[in-house]
Amino acid sequence: MIVKNLFGNTADGRQVDCYTIRNSSETAVDIITYGATVNSIYVADKNGIFADVLAGFDNIDGHENHSDYEGMTVGRYANRIAEGKFTIDGVEYNVEKNEKGITCLHGGGELSTAIWKAMIVDDNSLEMTYTSPDGAMGFPGRVDFRVVFTLHEDNALKIEYHAVSDKKTVINMTNHAYFNLAGKGNVLDHILQINADAYTPIDENSIPTGEIRPVEGTPFDFREPKAIGRDIGAEDDQLAIGKGYDHNFCLNDGDGPAATAYDPESGRMLEVFTDLCGVQLYTGNFLDGTIIGKGGKPLVQHAGFCLETQYYPNTPNMPEFPQCTFDAGQKFCSCTVFRFSVK
Ligand code: BGC
């Protein structure tokens, strides 16, 4: 069942709607038209008690004024582009350097702050569309974006991303949900597993150096399940740059989950499936309790973890990475599934 409600109005008076998709076990997902944002996900714990497992905001003001992309659809180029520039067919493009005037982060925030058009597809699917004009944030091509959110009966939220441009351009889309399976506190005791033998170390601007470094013997080894907090404070030059995990993992091939997270206390479990080659693990390191989130509670450090499925960061400048430059008319299409259960 899908129900539509008014979520609020932006400071400049644009209406933001909230669509709630609910399945027969009462699992529910709130999606708002501002940023095609997954605002809340309500799932039961091992005793059948429901909680919202996303850290973020319960009002539009929070999203507009304090956003760290909580739950938002991110693009047109998720993650970073070094110095906000890249070249396609000999033409240099200079895009928004919205991060300290140095890098382009999350496409300059365009998709995350746009009001998307919503359409109910059926009882469990919602489609959101947005057209980005040619030259938006400096990127070439007018791009039609379409994101379809489906909540299945097995408590899997499927997110399908589609985009097509009228000019050759770069596209990398993701969702920036901050998961907290306990629905409270921080996530340092959550047990995480990532199916990645390697990750991409970063420089001081969080841009990959180009090295594909094995996780073996490093705090980045999540091949066996371990608490997020176990090694987060280890002495490690990479953890020092990100103040914790803020890195792209190079996913191994295979049909199983790219990542699995488990909260031992509530028993809630999350499995992440994707057809993409990378996932950014960001552990909410820059949250510091100064911003007030849902229920009037501060968003403390590590209040949530993000598993941003993606092409590797800065791909347009890294020919050795799997590429995400798309020709005019060529379809970008990708799918990520977040499946919830209890253990
Ligand atoms: C980035 C972080 C950033 C966060 C919020 C993540 O995708 O990797 O460095 O702080 O987004 O913008």
**Two tokens, residue 307:** 């598993």
Residue 281 — very low, low, confident or very high, per pLDDT cuts 50/70/90? very high
Angle value at C-alpha 19, between 17 and 23, nearest 5 degrees: 170
Does residue 69's CB lie within 6 angstroms of at least one atom of ligand 1? yes
Stretch (H or E) spanning 44: strand 37-44
How high does pLDDT run on average in the chain?
98
pLDDT score of 60 more than 90? yes
**Two tokens, residue 182:** 């306990």
215-252: pLDDT as tens digits: 999 999 999 999 999 999 999 999 999 899 999 999 99
Q: Answer yes or no: are the C-beta atoms of 102 and 205 closer than 8 Å.
A: yes
Stretch (H or E) spanning 91: strand 91-94
Residue for token pair 């991060």: 99
Counting ligand 1 atoms within 8 A of each CB, the residue from 63, 67, 68, 110 with the most, and so the one to mutate, is 68
Does residue 282's CB lie within 6 angstroms of at least one atom of ligand 1? yes
- d(CA 22, ligand 1 centre) in Å: 29
289-305: pLDDT as tens digits: 999 999 999 999 999 99
Q: Is 113 helix (H, G, I), strand (E, B) or coil?
A: helix
Angle value at C-alpha 313, between 62 and 96, nearest 5 degrees: 60
- d(CA 210, ligand 1 centre) in Å: 19
Q: Whose CA is nearest to atom 3 of ligand 1?
A: 68
Q: Give the CA dihedral 254, 256, 257, 260, nearest 10 degrees.
A: -120
- Pick from 90, 118, 39, 78: which is nearest to 293 by CA? 39
Q: What is the mean pLDDT of residues 316-339?
A: 98
Please tell me what DSSP assigns to residue 292.
Answer: B
Question: What is each CA distance from 78 to 103, 144, 170, 265, 332, in whole angstroms?
Answer: 12, 16, 10, 33, 14
Residue 197 — very low, low, confident or very high, per pLDDT cuts 50/70/90? very high
Pairing of strands 174-175, 169-170: unpaired
Predicted structure pTM score: 0.98
pLDDT score of 255 more than 90? no
Those residues whose C-beta lies under 8 Å from the C-beta of residue 293, and which sit 6 or more positions away, are 55, 56, 57, 58, 62, 70, 299, 303
Q: Centre a 10 Å sphere on the Cβ of residue 240 and count the other Cβ atoms it contains.
A: 11
Q: What is the mean pLDDT of residues 100-107?
A: 98
Active-site annotation holds for 308? yes
Does residue 334's CB lie within 6 angstroms of at least one atom of ligand 1? no
Q: What is the mean pLDDT of residues 11-27?
A: 98
> What pLDDT is attached to residue 67?
87
Those residues whose C-beta lies under 8 Å from the C-beta of residue 301, and which sit 6 or more positions away, are 186, 284, 285, 286, 287, 288, 289
Q: What is the mean pLDDT of residues 145-149?
A: 99
Active-site annotation holds for 235? no
Counting ligand 1 atoms within 8 A of each CB, the residue from 81, 105, 175 with the most, and so the one to mutate, is 105
Q: What is the mean pLDDT of residues 178-182?
A: 98
Q: Which amino acid is at 133?
A: P
Q: What is the mean pLDDT of residues 270-285?
A: 98
- Percent of the chain predicted with pLDDT > 90: 99
The H-assigned helical ranges of the chain are 60-66, 110-113, 237-242
- d(CA 96, ligand 1 centre) in Å: 16
Q: What is the mean pLDDT of residues 101-119?
A: 98
- Dihedrals phi, psi of 112, to nearest 5 degrees: -75, -20
Collect contacts of 294-299 with beta carbons under 8 A, ≥24 apart: 294/40, 294/52, 294/55, 294/56, 294/57, 294/58, 295/58, 299/55
- d(CA 240, ligand 1 centre) in Å: 15
pLDDT score of 112 more than 90? yes
- Measured CA to CA, the distance from residue 49 to residue 34 in angstroms comes to 29
The H-assigned helical ranges of 95-161 are 110-113
148-161: pLDDT as tens digits: 999 999 999 999 99
- Measured CA to CA, the distance from residue 77 to residue 123 in angstroms comes to 31
- Measured CA to CA, the distance from residue 117 to residue 35 in angstroms comes to 10
Largest CA distance in the chain: 59
